[in-house]
Amino acid sequence: GTRAPGTKLKDFVATLPKFQSEIAKLRHDVEEYAKQFPTIGFEKATMKYKN
C-alpha cells in the first residue's frame, strides 16, 4: 500500500487530500453494503424515524 513519507502525524495528514475521493467511495460502498442487514436491537416497525 501507499505509506506516508514520514512517521509523524503531520506527514500522514499531508497525504490525506490525495485519498479523499477513494475514502469517500469506500465509505459509500460500506454504508450501502451495511443497509442490507437489520440493525441489531431495533425493530423497524417500532422506530420513530423509519428511514
Q: Is the pTM of this model over 0.75?
A: no
Residue 19 lies in a domain: yes
Residue 25 lies in a domain: yes
Pairwise CA distance, residues 28 & 20, whole Å: 12
* Domain limits for position 19: 9-36
Following CA atoms 26, 32, 37, 43 in sequence, which dihedral angle do they give, to the nearest 10 degrees? 120
Residue 29 lies in a domain: yes
Number of separate domains in the chain: 1
pLDDT at 1 over 80: no
Residue 16 lies in a domain: yes
> What are the pLDDT digits (tens) for 5-39?
788 999 888 888 888 999 999 999 999 999 999 88
Residue 49 lies in a domain: no
